[in-house]
A = this chain, B = another copy of it.
Amino acid sequence: MNIRKIAERAGVSVATISRVLNHPDLVSPETRERVYAVMKENQYTPNWFARNLTQKQTRTIAFIYPSNDSTFLQAVADGVEIVALNKKNLVFLCHTNGTAEMEREYLELMVQRNVDGIILFSSRLPQEKIEQVAGLGIPCVHIGREGADTERKNCYINYIDAAAKLTDHMIQLGYQQIYLLLDSMLVNEADEIKEGFELAASKAPTKLETDVYVADRSMQGGMLFAHRMIQAGKMPRALITSSARQAFGVMKAARLAGIRIPEDLAIASMTDSSVSTLVDPPLTAVDRPGKRLGMVTARMLFDCIENREFATQNAQHVELLAKLAIRKSCGNRKFIYELFE
């Protein structure tokens, strides 16, 4: 079933059919209705490929991201999808398992398929590869700070600010020994977190005792770290973990060792989780605006797509701030409980 057959059965030319499809107002009402009827009757759907052959717009974008095991990434993907669908676009969700090879493979597939734009989450690809794609005229927006010094478009959470806020929260609660546990998989974010941590520490009213460790982001990573610290007698008074799962692991190990939270150990995480309110005590954590990040990024991408000049313009950056979800694991006594700016 193609445009010609429809034209035949409606007793008009293919041009008229095309006009009914694309510029209905240019067709007389009677003809239009007749054509609509024939289309419906024959369940006619215009061929997407023929259409794009002349139109040069695929109404498809790619969202290339490292993994889908976190609610944060889900939220970002959600935000992207919402904006895209609003613009009648579809999203190729490409999850790379955090490997550069998969990312490269997907990127090439996306170029082949002429997507209108690409969103790259925490890209691990070298600048030249990105430039090559940009050189093909495909707008790209990055989520994360990497390459933000170059001519890129980036949207990201300000982790320096977030880490500083969280550290500050602990300082305000009076802790003078605060350690930081980083995530061994994270690269740029880890640097930012450390920077924010040290920034806040340097501004503390009294001198702080700080230290920085690294562990796997999993619950096991947290448990292992805690076991080691306990055995070495080096468990601090307060601890900031990079992931909620690390925090859960530490809490479990602490419970087994008879360490009370928050009386003996104050703990908080740079990442929130749906079960943060479930554990005992509920975990204080950084609450990142994932959905908003996804929406903002998608909007920036569509700005580039719809506005080619805008696309080739200089670097652009949007920075989003995270909030603190203050719960009980740090010993907070005030009755703020949640969502502290």
List residues of A whose CB falls within 8 A of some B CB.
Answer: 43, 45-50, 52-53, 58, 68-69, 71, 74, 77-78, 81, 90-95, 109, 111-114, 132, 135-136, 219, 245, 248, 252, 255, 273-275, 277-280
Q: What are 6 sample pairs from A and B whose C-beta atoms fall under 8 A apart?
A: A43-B132, A43-B135, A48-B113, A68-B74, A219-B278, A252-B278
A19 to chain B: closest CB distance in Å? 19
Cα(A136)–Cα(B112), bound, Å: 27
> Which one of B52, B95, B114, B278 contacts A248 once the chains associate, using CB atoms below 8 Å?
B278
> Which one of B46, B49, B68, B77 contacts A49 once the chains associate, using CB atoms below 8 Å?
B49
Query: Knowing A93-B93, A95-B81 touch, does A278 contact B280 (C-beta < 8 A)?
Result: no
Cα(A69)–Cα(B81), bound, Å: 15
Of A245, A275, A280, most buried by chain B (CB within 10 Å of CB) is A275
Q: With a CB–CB cut-off of 8 A, which chain B residues contact A112?
A: 45-46, 48
Q: With a CB–CB cut-off of 8 A, which chain B residues contact A74?
A: 68-69, 74
Query: Knowing A49-B52, A114-B48 touch, does A92 contact B92 (C-beta < 8 A)?
Result: yes
Contact between chains at A77 and B81 (CB < 8 Å): no
Q: With a CB–CB cut-off of 8 A, which chain B residues contact A275?
A: 248, 273, 275, 278
Cα(A94)–Cα(B82), bound, Å: 11
A218 to chain B: closest CB distance in Å? 10
Contact between chains at A90 and B90 (CB < 8 Å): no
For the complex of A and B, the 3 pairs showing the least CB-CB separation, nearest first, are A93-B93, A49-B52, A49-B49
Q: With a CB–CB cut-off of 8 A, which chain B residues contact A111?
A: 45
Q: With a CB–CB cut-off of 8 A, which chain B residues contact A43?
A: 132, 135-136
- 4 new A-B contacts at CB < 8 Å, known A49-B58, A68-B78: A47-B53, A49-B50, A78-B95, A219-B278
Q: With a CB–CB cut-off of 8 A, which chain B residues contact A49?
A: 49-50, 52-53, 58, 114
Query: Knowing A45-B112, A78-B68, A280-B255 touch, does A92 contact B90 (C-beta < 8 A)?
Result: yes
Cα(A48)–Cα(B275), bound, Å: 45
Q: With a CB–CB cut-off of 8 A, which chain B residues contact A78?
A: 68, 95
Cα(A219)–Cα(B276), bound, Å: 12
Who on chain B is nearest to A273 by CB? B275
Contact between chains at A47 and B114 (CB < 8 Å): yes
Q: With a CB–CB cut-off of 8 A, which chain B residues contact A109?
A: 90
Who on chain B is nearest to A113 by CB? B48
Query: Knowing A53-B49, A252-B278 touch, does A90 contact B113 (C-beta < 8 A)?
Result: yes
Cα(A49)–Cα(B90), bound, Å: 16
Who on chain B is nearest to A275 by CB? B275
A223 to chain B: closest CB distance in Å? 10
